[in-house]
Amino acid sequence: MEVRPEALAAFQRAGREAHANPAALHRAGRRAQGVLEDARDRVAAVLRCSASEIIFCSSATEANNISILGAARAMERVHGKSPHLVSSKAEHPSVLGPLRHLQQMGCRLSLVPLENGARVPVEKLLQAAEGGEGVNLFALQWANNETGTVQDWDALASAVLDSSFLHCDAVQGIGKLPFADSIFSSHALVVSGHKIGAPKGVAALRLSPLAMLDPVSFGGGHQRGFRPGTESPDLATSFATALELAVAEQAAFARETLSAKTALLEILKNEFPQLVCQQPEEGNSLPNTCSLSFPNMDGRKLLPALDAEGLAVSSGSACSAGAPKPSSVLLACGVSAELARATVRISFGCGQGEVIGKKVGAVVVAVLDRIYKVGNL
């Protein structure tokens, strides 16, 4: 989404007034430190924790790596054996990447199969964890970035928290879903700045006091040693501003974008009865995201054609969309490679309601009609 004007203004103001290194002892450094800690306090208030539990990072990818790799190191040190890693095939590459790295280093990794729409069945997670003898590291997302599926965190958290480390990738849910108390019972929770209207280059990792974590990078002693390096008051205060607004406006965002998505789906279902919706029923998915499969359609033609009409859509995770492969998430859900290649993800943003949904629907229909007519079938 675009950078929020308020977040941009906060970034620019801090850049003028708090440009010094916040670790410096001179007056300008102390001023920068004050701006930084004010931002940390504000983020902590939204995420229901103390300021000491907030670690500012450069991205959700970095935050996921700090948490997962650091937890695995600490669990091996404390328990004398590598943890059993339990996750799903629906996770973002920034979660699966460190998990697969740990697998190469000797950890056992269990990726549970998915139900329709990329839902992770809790009972299968527990079955997979039985071999871990209580030394389990669970790493799961709150909502899927491709299908929009919202996971059952109430059931998940109550089932696994007793003797395990629970990592929550909350990037897709913050600002789109009402807070679920259960996500705050996780040992680690990750929020990305650019998903909520802050500039790119900032994220937050919320670490519970109960979280066992060892550092995975070294240098200075910044942020309890978990994320060494000079901190940016500019990005931190911009992130805090965007987070406050995203949470305050969540209900309006959900109402508007769901209206847009509903209007779009109504048009497309009427025009293309063969349409396959990859997201679950309403109430179990993000309000703004839809994953749509058009049988016998070549996605390599569809995406650039929609782009030429001014629609920015994708065929999978934006972090790996450059790869000419069908979505690994859809393949894990049992979708054929052919249908996965004919799938696009359309997400709506702030202020985009029913009128925008209808306009997008009309453009998609026109593009599909044109492609089908030139012999794509």
Q: Could you list the mean pLDDT of each consecutive 10-residue stretch along the chain, which spans 377 residues? A: 94 93 92 95 97 97 97 94 92 96 95 84 85 82 92 83 84 94 93 97 95 89 87 96 97 95 95 87 83 84 90 70 72 90 90 90 92 63
Tally of CB atoms within 10 A around 253 = 23
Identify the pLDDT of residue 319.
54
Specify the DSSP element, H or E, that contains 67. Answer: helix 60-79
What does the DSSP 8-state code read for residue 224? G
Neighbours of 113 (CB within 10 A): 14
The 3 state secondary structure assigned to 7-27 is: HHHHHHHHHHHCCCCCCCCCH
Specify whether the CB–CB gap between 40 and 31 falls below 8 A: no
- In order of 84, 87, 212, 213, the CA distances from 76 in angstroms are 10, 18, 10, 10
Closest of 181, 200, 178 to residue 189, by C-alpha: 181
DSSP-assigned letter for residue 350: T
Instruction: Report pLDDT for 281.
Output: 65
pLDDT at 161: 61
Please state, in angstroms and rounded to a whole number, the distance separating the CA atoms of residues 286 and 308: 27
Same fold, 5-248 and 250-376: no
What is the per-residue pLDDT for 129? 84
Distance from C-alpha of 349 to C-alpha of 295, rounded to nearest angstrom: 27
User: Is pTM, for the whole model, over 0.95?
Assistant: no
Nearest to 335 by CA among 366, 291, 281: 291
Burial of 101 (0-12, 13-18, 19+ CB in 10 A): middle
Which pLDDT belongs to residue 326?
A: 85
Q: What is the largest CA-CA distance in the chain?
A: 70
Residue ranges of the domains in the chain?
A: 5-248, 250-376
Whole-number Å distance between alpha carbons of 299 and 340: 9
DSSP letter at 118 equals: G
Q: Give SS3 for 150.
A: strand
pLDDT of amino acid 321:
47
User: From residue 95, how far is each of 39, 50, 90, 200, 318 by CA, in Å?
Assistant: 26, 25, 10, 19, 14
Architecture of domain 5-248: 3-Layer(aba) Sandwich (3.40)
Catalytic residue numbers?
A: 319
> Could you tell me the two tokens for 88?
């799903």
Contact (CB, 8 A) for 222 and 212: no
Confidence (pLDDT) at 271 = 92
Return the SS3 of 110: strand
User: What homologous superfamily does CATH list for 250-376?
Assistant: Aspartate Aminotransferase, domain 1 (3.90.1150.10)
> What pLDDT sits at residue 282?
60
Residue 377: what pLDDT? 43
pLDDT at 163: 61
For tokens 């997008």, name the residue: 360
